[in-house]
Structure 1
Amino acid sequence: MPTLNQLLVNKRFKKPVSRRLKSLDQSPQKKGVCVKVFITSPKKPNSANRKVARVRLSNKEFITCSIPGEGHSLQKFSTVLVRGARVRDLPGVKYKAIRGVFDLGPVKDRKRARSIYGTPLAR
């Protein structure tokens, strides 16, 4: 147990903040504008065409984010909301775009796991 004098002289250390998702500036999400929308192929045992976008965030940083779900209407200068979530088979992609917010619409005819893909309850 430290003495009162030791506490005054030696300040307690703050927990170091995670710098893994540094482009988000400790925010849960960030708004950004698409600079380029393209497809890329995943790492080795998988094969597909993954849809990704190069995004310029509101803090002027550029990131690569994945576009989840089937089909999208993103193009250059579309506005997206980005969250931190790495895509395991795409190297360097540590962010995902959020469906159903701004210009990235929800997945059409989605019945299961709707909340992830921004699909409202069909009536």
Structure 2
Amino acid sequence: MNFLREKLSHLVSSKTYSMYRTVGIVDTGNYSAVKHAVAGSVNKDCSWIRGMASLYQMHRTGPHIKTRPPRQPLDGKPFAKGVVLKTLIKKPKKPNSANRKCVLVRLSTGKEMVAYIPGIGHNLQEHNIVLCRVGRCQDVPGVKIRCVRGKYDLSHVIK
């Protein structure tokens, strides 16, 4: 039993050893059960410790580069055709106050996005076809594309 206590004192701290002693694992005399219990506690306590990579491992794998999710609203394309689902009026963020004219568009890529209509006045209704380009409306959150005036069903600005 003293041999077992010496082994345990080397493997775990006195706090963990006293815990095993109170539970009764140490006094059973079954060394394999104690060994597995101690190994499990050591692994749990030291799970946050991770070995550093050697220079050869870093050379072999190359630099660690994070892959970030794509932030392109039209998947890298300059324009996309879309069908108007609904016309919306959005309010801008804090210091500005206005009614920004927008439309909910189902693009040819399958995405549904809110597009800003530039200029004064528009003739868009549901089921109209518009051409959208990448361009944010900076003071309206969630609006990342704009409609192109004078293409398909969206007419030019009337002067």
Which of the pair has more CA radius of gyration? 2
Relative to total residues, which structure has the larger strand share, 1 or 2? 1
Unaligned regions of 5+ residues in structure 1, if any? 1-8, 11-15, 110-123
Letter of the 2:135 partner, please give it: A
Residue deviations 1:21-78 (CA, integer Å, cap 9, x gap): 24x1211000000001011111111101100000000111101100000000001011
Contact 1:82 1:98 (C-alpha < 8 Å) held by counterparts: yes
Alignment TM-score, normalising by the size of structure 1: 0.72
Corresponding residue number in structure 2 for 1:83: 133
Alignment identity in percent?
A: 46
Matched, 1:25 2:106: no
How do 1:96-111 residues align onto structure 2 when only pairs under 5 Å count? Answer: 96-109=146-159
Aligned residues: 99
Distance 2:152 2:97 in 1: 30
Q: Cα RMSD over matched residues?
A: 2.3
Corresponding residue number in structure 2 for 1:3: none
Corresponding residue number in structure 2 for 1:34: 84
Corresponding residue number in structure 1 for 2:104: 54
Unaligned regions of 5+ residues in structure 2, if any? 1-59, 62-66
